[in-house]
Amino acid sequence: MNPSLITDEERAQLLANGQARAAGQTIDPLPVVRLFTPDAHLTWLLTELDADDGDTAYGLIDLGLGMPDLGTVRLSDLMPIVGPRKQPVMRDRYFRAARPLSEYVRLAQENGSITD
Protein backbone atom coordinates (compact mmCIF):
# COMPACT_ATOMS: atom_id res chain seq x y z
CA MET A 1 0.00 0.00 0.00
CA ASN A 2 1.27 3.47 -0.84
CA PRO A 3 1.69 5.24 2.50
CA SER A 4 1.20 8.61 0.81
CA LEU A 5 -2.43 7.77 -0.02
CA ILE A 6 -3.41 8.53 3.57
CA THR A 7 -1.57 10.07 6.48
CA ASP A 8 -1.24 8.45 9.89
CA GLU A 9 -3.75 10.96 11.28
CA GLU A 10 -6.24 10.17 8.49
CA ARG A 11 -5.73 6.44 9.03
CA ALA A 12 -6.49 6.84 12.75
CA GLN A 13 -9.71 8.77 12.03
CA LEU A 14 -10.78 6.31 9.31
CA LEU A 15 -10.20 3.39 11.70
CA ALA A 16 -12.13 5.12 14.50
CA ASN A 17 -15.09 5.67 12.17
CA GLY A 18 -14.89 2.07 11.00
CA GLN A 19 -14.84 0.78 14.56
CA ALA A 20 -17.86 2.92 15.45
CA ARG A 21 -19.87 1.48 12.56
CA ALA A 22 -18.69 -2.07 13.35
CA ALA A 23 -19.88 -1.53 16.94
CA GLY A 24 -23.37 -0.83 15.58
CA GLN A 25 -23.36 2.93 15.94
CA THR A 26 -25.35 4.87 13.38
CA ILE A 27 -22.90 7.44 12.09
CA ASP A 28 -22.81 9.99 9.29
CA PRO A 29 -19.23 11.20 9.51
CA LEU A 30 -17.47 13.88 7.56
CA PRO A 31 -15.29 12.39 4.82
CA VAL A 32 -11.74 12.08 6.11
CA VAL A 33 -9.81 11.95 2.86
CA ARG A 34 -10.34 12.62 -0.84
CA LEU A 35 -8.38 10.48 -3.29
CA PHE A 36 -8.43 11.18 -7.01
CA THR A 37 -6.70 10.71 -10.33
CA PRO A 38 -5.44 14.09 -11.58
CA ASP A 39 -5.75 13.10 -15.24
CA ALA A 40 -9.01 11.14 -15.14
CA HIS A 41 -12.40 11.44 -13.50
CA LEU A 42 -12.00 9.07 -10.56
CA THR A 43 -12.68 10.27 -7.02
CA TRP A 44 -13.08 8.58 -3.64
CA LEU A 45 -14.36 10.41 -0.53
CA LEU A 46 -13.51 8.00 2.27
CA THR A 47 -14.98 7.96 5.76
CA GLU A 48 -14.00 4.60 7.23
CA LEU A 49 -11.38 1.89 7.24
CA ASP A 50 -11.98 -1.73 8.22
CA ALA A 51 -9.97 -2.41 11.38
CA ASP A 52 -9.74 -6.14 10.60
CA ASP A 53 -7.71 -5.74 7.42
CA GLY A 54 -6.65 -2.06 7.56
CA ASP A 55 -7.06 -1.88 3.79
CA THR A 56 -10.78 -1.86 2.96
CA ALA A 57 -12.14 1.68 2.95
CA TYR A 58 -15.76 2.84 2.74
CA GLY A 59 -17.13 6.01 1.27
CA LEU A 60 -18.49 7.76 -1.79
CA ILE A 61 -17.00 6.46 -5.03
CA ASP A 62 -17.18 8.35 -8.32
CA LEU A 63 -15.77 6.44 -11.29
CA GLY A 64 -16.66 9.19 -13.73
CA LEU A 65 -19.63 7.29 -15.19
CA GLY A 66 -22.32 9.63 -13.87
CA MET A 67 -23.39 7.23 -11.10
CA PRO A 68 -21.49 8.02 -7.87
CA ASP A 69 -22.49 5.76 -5.00
CA LEU A 70 -21.45 4.42 -1.63
CA GLY A 71 -19.16 1.43 -1.59
CA THR A 72 -15.89 -0.09 -0.53
CA VAL A 73 -12.46 -0.08 -2.10
CA ARG A 74 -9.20 -1.66 -1.04
CA LEU A 75 -6.50 0.98 -0.79
CA SER A 76 -4.03 -1.56 -2.15
CA ASP A 77 -6.21 -1.91 -5.28
CA LEU A 78 -5.82 1.83 -5.95
CA MET A 79 -2.04 1.55 -6.24
CA PRO A 80 -1.83 0.27 -9.84
CA ILE A 81 -4.48 2.71 -11.12
CA VAL A 82 -3.14 5.42 -13.41
CA GLY A 83 -4.90 7.85 -15.69
CA PRO A 84 -4.29 8.32 -19.41
CA ARG A 85 -1.18 10.43 -18.72
CA LYS A 86 0.14 7.82 -16.27
CA GLN A 87 -0.77 9.92 -13.21
CA PRO A 88 -1.35 7.71 -10.13
CA VAL A 89 -4.10 8.02 -7.55
CA MET A 90 -3.27 10.88 -5.22
CA ARG A 91 -4.48 12.28 -1.90
CA ASP A 92 -5.97 15.77 -2.03
CA ARG A 93 -3.79 17.46 0.58
CA TYR A 94 -6.11 20.48 0.69
CA PHE A 95 -9.43 18.66 1.08
CA ARG A 96 -11.47 19.63 4.13
CA ALA A 97 -14.95 18.14 4.35
CA ALA A 98 -17.69 20.74 4.43
CA ARG A 99 -20.63 18.40 5.13
CA PRO A 100 -21.40 14.87 6.31
CA LEU A 101 -21.12 11.94 3.92
CA SER A 102 -24.89 11.69 3.39
CA GLU A 103 -24.96 15.23 2.01
CA TYR A 104 -22.05 14.55 -0.36
CA VAL A 105 -23.94 11.46 -1.57
CA ARG A 106 -27.16 13.40 -2.14
CA LEU A 107 -25.39 16.18 -4.06
CA ALA A 108 -23.27 13.76 -6.11
CA GLN A 109 -26.29 11.70 -7.12
CA GLU A 110 -28.18 14.86 -8.12
CA ASN A 111 -25.22 16.15 -10.17
CA GLY A 112 -23.91 12.84 -11.50
CA SER A 113 -20.49 13.45 -9.92
CA ILE A 114 -18.75 14.62 -6.77
CA THR A 115 -18.77 18.38 -7.12
CA ASP A 116 -16.20 19.44 -4.52
Per-residue pLDDT of 9-55, as tens digits, reads: 999 999 999 999 999 999 999 999 999 998 888 999 999 999 999 99
Can you tell me the distance from the alpha carbon of 38 to that of 42, in angstroms, rounded to the nearest whole number?
Answer: 8
Question: What is the distance of C-alpha 47 from the center of its chain?
Answer: 6
Per-residue model confidence (pLDDT) at position 7: 94
DSSP states along 54-95? S-EEEEEEE-SSS--EEEEEEHHHHTT-B-TT-PBPEE-TT-
What is the model's pTM?
0.91
12: how many CB neighbours lie within 10 A of its CB?
13
Per-residue pLDDT of 67-101, as tens digits, reads: 999 999 999 999 888 888 988 999 999 999 999 99
Per-residue pLDDT of 37-50, as tens digits, reads: 988 889 999 999 99
Residues 5/35, Cβ–Cβ less than 8 Å: yes
- Would you list the domain boundaries of the chain? 8-111
